[in-house]
């Protein structure tokens, strides 16, 4: 049994503290409710580093002259995870960074990398023919495949993926502002995710492993 001395000041003090304690407890309850998370949500938001499409649909296929001398199609790589990106060999910063990152990721995958194909579709067919793309891509990874073709055919492919490419400047040193994201296509040819520019090789390895094991 608790015996309180008849001290009004102490009782007031205790009452104030009690009110504050109740407020703190309520705050703690609210905060702990913030921290509770549904497993499904955690799975959805944290399984992949890239942005995911739900539900996934078949990636639009195409047939373009490849840097390896064959036509490049997605169907050709069915059974592999395809990393599809758009760019041009004269690109000063974004494309070299992307290709370097993908090369690093591909190397990090080791044996599993055999089940991964990088396809680089040019947005600059005037300067990127099959031979120049082969030379360009070999500097990053000799397994990477480039795709070029007629401007109208390439524009159609870009349209299917929502990719933009806008010429900037005139003269021989023009640049092209283009979508810099990388599309992740699973073994069945479904467009599963899109990785925005700026992610490191580790993020690609993480996501590709998920698709390889799916």
Point out which residues bind another protein (CB under 8 A): 1-5, 7, 10-11, 13-14, 17-18, 20-21, 23-28, 30-31, 33-38, 41, 44-46, 48-55, 57, 160-162, 164, 177, 179, 181, 194, 196, 198
Minimum Å gap between C-beta 59 and another protein is 11
Residue 124's H or E segment, with its range, is none
Minimum Å gap between C-beta 211 and another protein is 16
For another protein, the closer CB: 71 or 200: 200
180: which strand partners? Answer: none
Q: Count Cβ atoms below 10 Å from residue 129 Cβ, excluding itself.
A: 15
Minimum Å gap between C-beta 50 and another protein is 8
For another protein, the closer CB: 46 or 111: 46
199: which strand partners? Answer: none
194: which strand partners? Answer: 51, 183
**Separation of alpha carbons 58 and 160, rounded Å:** 11
For another protein, the closer CB: 4 or 110: 4
For another protein, the closer CB: 38 or 110: 38
DSSP-assigned letters across all residues of 15-30: HHHHHHHHHHHHHHHH
DSSP conformational letter for 3 = -
Minimum Å gap between C-beta 30 and another protein is 5
């Amino acid at each position: 049994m608790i015996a309180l001395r008849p001290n009004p000041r102490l009782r007031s003090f205790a009452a104030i503290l009690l009110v504050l304690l109740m407020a703190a407890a309520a705050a703690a309850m609210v905060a702990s409710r913030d921290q509770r998370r549904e497993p499904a949500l955690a799975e959805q938001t944290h399984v992949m580093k890239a942005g995911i499409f739900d539900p996934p649909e078949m990636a639009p296929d195409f047939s373009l002259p490849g840097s390896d001398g064959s036509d490049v199609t997605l169907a050709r790589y069915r059974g592999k995870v395809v990393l599809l990106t758009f760019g041009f060999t004269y690109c000063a910063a974004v494309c070299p960074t992307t290709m370097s990152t993908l090369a690093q990721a591909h190397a990090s995958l080791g044996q599993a990398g055999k089940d991964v194909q990088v396809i680089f579709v040019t947005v600059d067919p005037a300067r990127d023919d099959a031979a120049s793309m082969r030379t360009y891509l070999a500097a990053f990874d000799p397994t990477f495949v480039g795709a070029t073709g007629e401007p109208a055919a390439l524009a159609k492919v870009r349209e299917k993926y929502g990719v933009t490419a806008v010429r900037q400047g005139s003269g021989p040193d023009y640049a092209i502002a283009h979508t810099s994201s990388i599309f992740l296509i699973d073994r069945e040819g479904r467009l599963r995710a899109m990785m925005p520019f700026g992610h490191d090789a580790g993020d690609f390895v993480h996501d590709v492993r998920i698709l390889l094991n799916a």
